[in-house]
Structure 1
Amino acid sequence: MAKDLVPELLARATEELEREFGALPQFEPARTSDSVAGPMAAVLEETTHRLGNNYPYFHPLYAGQMLKPPHPVARAAYALAMTINPNNHARDGGRASSAMEIEAVAEIGAMFGWTEYLGHLTSGGTMANLEALWVAGQIAPGRRILGSEQAHYTHYRISGVLRLEYGSVAPDARGRMRLDALEDQLRKGDVGTVVVTLGTTAVGAVDPLPEILALRERYGFRVHVDAAYGGYFKLIEDALDEPARRAFEAIGQADSIVIDPHKHGLQPYGCGCVLFRDPRVGRFYKHDSPYTYFTSKELHLGEISLECSRAGAAAVALWATQRLLPLKPGGEFARGLAAGRRAALELDRRLRSDERFEALTAGGPELDIVVWKMTAVEAKASELAQSIFSACAKRNLHLALVQLPQFWFGSAGDSSTVKGHVTCLRSVLMKPEHEAWLERIWNEMSAACADVEKE
C-alpha cells in the first residue's frame, strides 16, 4: 500500500479540535483507562488481520465493481467528526455538521444548475431513491412507476414498500430505455413517474432524458433521475458521446435527482443525496414530534428527511472533500473522472481489436464501465467468462461478472428476438489511476486467458 498521510494529518487535526473545546474542565473517560489499552491493541490487531481477507478495493488492479476508495481528506474528516459523533437529524444534534451538509448539498445542486431546491444527504442511494418515489407517490397517489429493465432493482422493491405499482420498460441493445416501449406504457394513462437512469449499474447506460422530457410534456408525469452512479459526469459532459452529453445537459429539467457521493464522490459509505426541483415538496415531510430538538428556530434537516438519525460525520467528510476538490468543470475532481473515462474507452478499443473478445455491438461505453463476452457460442462463452474471472483473480486482477442479453452481442445476431442471457466480464474503471495502469490490466488479463487455454 502507498504511504498513508491520514494518521499524521488526523493526529494534528485532533489536537486542534481539542483546543476548540479547551474551556471545558478536564475529565477522564472511563473507557480509555490504561487497563483497557492492552486489550484494545489486541482487538485492533485481530481486526487488521480479519480485514486483510478482503478484495483490495483501494488498488488499481481492483477493476471490478463500482468501488472507489474514499479520498484521504474524507477519511480524516470523517474520523475527526467521530470525536463528537454529530447527528444531523437536527441542529442541536449536529450544529456545525448540519451547516456543512447544507453547504455541501448546495454545491451538488449547483452542479446540476439548481439554486432553489429541497435536498439533503441520506444513508445511501436506496434511501435517496425511496424518498424521491415517496414524494412522487404523495403527489400522484396510486399511479404507476416506470423504469427501464436495466434500472436498479431497488426501484421495484421501493415501489412495493410504497404500495405503488411498478412497471419495467424494455431497453435497447446498449441498455438504454426504449422510447417506443415507454410510450406504449404511457398511452395507458396511469403513469405518475418515470425513473430515468443516467448510468445503469450493469453497463453505465444513459437513458435518453431529453426525449423522455418531451414525452412528459404530452403525458404529464414526473421525471425522477437516478444518477446515483453517473451524476458526477455532469462535470465532463463535453467529453461524452452526443446522446449521453445531451442527457446530462438536460438533467436540471428533472423533478428530482439522486446522486451517491460514496461512488464517484470519493466518500465513505453511506452517503447518498436526494434533490427536489420544487422546494414545496417539503410540506409532505412536516411532523409535530414532541421529543425532537427545539432550542434552534432554524429549519433542521430532520424536517425534510424521512430518516431521523443520520451520521453528521458523512456530511463533514463530504464538505471537506468538496472544499479541497470543488465540483467544477476542468478542476482536479473532474480531471479524475475524465481519466477513468479515457481508460474505459481504451480498454473497449483493445477488446474490439482482439478476436478473443466481443464488445457490445451497438457501441462503446457511455461512461466508464466496460463489458464484454468471450468469443464462443452459448453456454461456452459463460463458462469461459467464469474461468477467466477466476484466473485474473489469481493474478491479483479483480474484474466482475454480469448477466446480459444475448442479442446485445454480434455473434447472437442482430434481432432483439434472440432469447437468453450470457455471463460477461465487466470492469468499472473509476479510479484516476486506472488510466496509467491499463497496460498492466490488459497484460494480466491476456495472461489469464492463456492460463485458461492451458487447462
Structure 2
Amino acid sequence: MAMERFAPSALNTALEDLDRSFAHLPEFTAEVQGQDRMLGVLRETAARLGDNFPYFHPLYAGQMLKPPHPLARAAYALATWINPNNHALDGGRASSAMEKEAVAELAAMFGWNQHLGHLSSGGTMANLEALWVAGQLQPGQAIAASSQAHYTHERISGVLHLPFAKVDADDHGRLNCQALERRLEQGGIGCVVATLGTTGVGAVDPLPEILKLRERYGFRLHVDSAYGGYFRLAGNLAPATRAAYDLIGEADSIVIDPHKHGLQPYGCGCVLFRDPAVGRLYKHESPYTYFSSHELHLGEISLECSRPGASAVALWATQRLLPTVPGGEFAQGLEASRRAALTFAARLKDDPRFVVPFDPELDIIVWAPRAPSASESSGLSQRIFDLAAEQQLHLALIHLPVSIFRAAWPDLQADQPTIVCLRSVLMKPEHESWLDRIYAILGSTTDAARST
C-alpha cells in the first residue's frame, strides 16, 4: 500500500495551488460546525468501513472491483473543495471542459474523431441513454440482446416501454448470430445490443457477424462495453476477440465504465454516440440554467441533471498521467490482467479436479469442480467459495446453463438445468504475481470441500 501515501502530501500541495487561484477574493473564514469532534467521527467511520471485503488486495478475485488510482482519489478529493456540478457551465466551468476533453479521449480510443457523449453515474444510466436514443429514432421497435447480456437492458427496455427480445447465447456465452437472425426475420427489432465483455463470463459478442446482419436488416447497433471497453487497447487478445474490438467504431453508440478498468472511483460511466446530431433529441428549455455561456452545457445532452464534476476531474487527471493508447503504461496493465487470466485458466484445465468450459476472452475465468452431476458440482462450488473466504481468498459464484459445459464435460449428468460455477475477475495487474498463492489456497480448500 506504499503508493497510497502519495495522495495526502500531493493533495495538500495541490490545495495550496487551488487556494492561490482565489487569492484575489476578500478574506473570510467559513464556520465549520463540530470541528472539534471531526477526528472522532472520522475514526468511527474508518472502523465502520473496515467491515468490507478487501477489494484492493490481490486475494480479492471475485467481482469486478478495482481500486482507483491514487491520483484519481486525490484529484476527486481536490475537486470536492470546489464541488462543481457538470450539468451547466455555471456550476462547473473548468470541470465541464475537463469532462469534454476526457470523453473525447475515450471516443478517440474507439476511432471516433467526431462524437457526442458525456460521463454518467455508471453503466446503467449510460445504457439507458443509449437505448432511449434508439427508442426515439425507432419508436416502438424492440431492443434485442443476448441472454448473457447485462440484465439492465431488459429492465431499461421496460422503463422505456419498449419490447425486449432475449436472444440465445452460444456455448461460449456469446450472442448466437443464427438465433439473432431468426428473430430479425420476424421483424420489429429497432436496436441490437452487442456486449463486448459480458459481466458474467467476460464473453465478447461476434461483432463482425452482427455488423453483417445490420447490413441486411438495418437495425441500430449499440455496444455495451461497460466492463470490457478498455480492452480495445490490449495487444494480447485472441484473433476473434481482436476482430470484434477492431470494429467497435462501427457501432452507433458505445458505453464504457471508467470506474471498472479505468481506475476511477464510483460512479463514473460514459455514453458515446457516433453521430453528434442525436443531440437534437435532448433539446429542452431551462431559462434559469443555461444563461452564462453560448457554449454547449453538458446538461443539454444528458438525461441526468446534477452530476459530480469531481468524476470528470479525476478521469481527466488519470488520463493525463496514463493516456489511453495502445502499448502505453495503462494498456500494459490490461495486458497483465489478461495474461493472469490465461495462466490461471491453463492451470485449472490441467488440474483433474476442475473443468473449464472455455478459455477466457478478457480477464474473467469461470470453472466448476469436477463431480458426477451438476447438482453435486454446484454444492462443491458453494463449499469451496465459503472455505476460500475463510482463507482470505475471495471468489465469486455464477449460475450458468449446463449446456455451456457440453464440449468440455461430456459425461456430466445434467440433473438440473444450471450449474453453480466459481468465477474470478483478475483485473488487478498484481494478480499475475499472486497466482501461485491464489492457486494454493484454491487447491487446499477444494480438497477440504470434497472431504466434508
Please indicate the TM-score interval, normalised by the length of the shorter structure: over 0.9
Give the superposition deviation at 1:413: 3.3
**SS of residue in 1 equivalent to 2:379:** helix
Matched, 1:167 2:186: no
Do 1:406 and 1:412's aligned partners in 2 also have CA atoms closer than 8 Å?
A: no
Distance in structure 2 (CA, Å) of the matches to 1:434 and 1:86: 36
CA deviation digits over 1:169-228, x for unaligned, max 9?
Answer: 000110001011000110012100000000001100000111101100100100000000
The equivalent residue for 2:313 is 316
Partner-residue secondary structure (3-state), 1:31: coil
- Other-structure match for 2:365: 370
Residues 223-255 of structure 1: CA distance to partner in whole angstroms, max 9, x if unpaired? 00000000000001x411111111000000000
Q: Following the alignment from structure 1 to structure 2, what is the Cα–Cα distance between the partners of residues 436 and 72?
A: 21
Which of 229, 239, 242 is residue 239 of structure 2 equivalent to? 242
| Residue in 2 that maps onto 1:395 | 391
RMSD of the alignment, in Å?
1.4
Partner of 2:25: 24
Provide the C-alpha distance between the structure 2 equivalents of 1:38 and 1:30, rounded to a whole number of angstroms: 12
Identify the match of residue 104 of structure 2 among 103, 106, 112. 106
Whether the 8 Å CA contact 1:389–1:400 is kept in 2: the answer is yes
Query: Shift in Å at residue 2 of structure 1?
Result: 3.8
Give the SS at the match of 2:429: coil
Q: Which residue of 1 aligns with 2:402?
A: 406
Instruction: Please tell me the residue identity of whatever aligns with 2:301.
Output: I
Partners of 1:129 and 1:115 in 2: CA distance: 21
1: CA distance between counterparts of 2:411 and 2:106? 41
After TM superposition, the structure 1 = structure 2 runs for residues 306-385 of structure 1, keeping only pairs within 5 Å, are 306-360=303-357, 363-376=358-371, 377-385=373-381
Q: Which moved more, 1:3-12 or 1:116-125?
A: 3-12
Q: Which of 22, 32, 40 matches 2:38?
A: 40
- Which residue of structure 1 lines up, in the alignment, with residue 301 of structure 2? 304
Q: How much does 1:452 deviate?
A: 2.3
Aligned to 1:423: 420
Structure 2: stretches of 5+ with no match in the other structure: none
Alpha carbons 2:197, 2:362 under 8 Å: kept? yes
Q: Which residue, out of 125, 128, 140, partners 1:127? A: 125
Other-structure match for 2:81: 83
Shift of 1:3: 5.2
Q: Please, what TM-score do these two structures have when normalized by structure 2? A: 0.97
SS across alignment from 1:192: strand
Contact 1:216 1:222 in 2 (8 A): yes
Amino acid at match of 2:364: I
SS at match of 1:57: coil
| Alpha-carbon distance in structure 1 between the residues aligned to 2:362 and 2:78 | 34
Question: Equivalents in 2 of 1:15, 1:423: separation in Å?
Answer: 53
Q: What is the one-letter code of the residue matched to 2:400?
A: L
Superposed displacement of residue 412, structure 1: 5.4
| CA positional deviation for 1:24 | 1.3
Flag structure 1 segments of 5+ consecutive residues without an equivalent: none
Matched residue pairs, number? 448
Contact 1:407 1:414 in 2 (8 A): no
CA deviation profile, 1:12-45 (whole Å, cap 9, x unmatched): 111111111111122121125xxx2331111111
1:343–1:438: 8 Å Cα contact kept in structure 2? yes
CA distance in 2, matches of 1:358, 1:26: 68
| Structure-1 residue corresponding to 2:155 | 157
Distance 1:412 1:165 in 2: 36
* Secondary structure of residue in 2 paired with 1:314: helix
SS at match of 2:254: strand
Tell me the alpha carbon deviations over residues 105-154 of structure 1, each in whole angstroms, 9 at most, x when there is no partner: 00000000000111111111000000000000000000010000000000
Q: What SS does structure 2 have at the residue aligned with 1:404?
A: strand
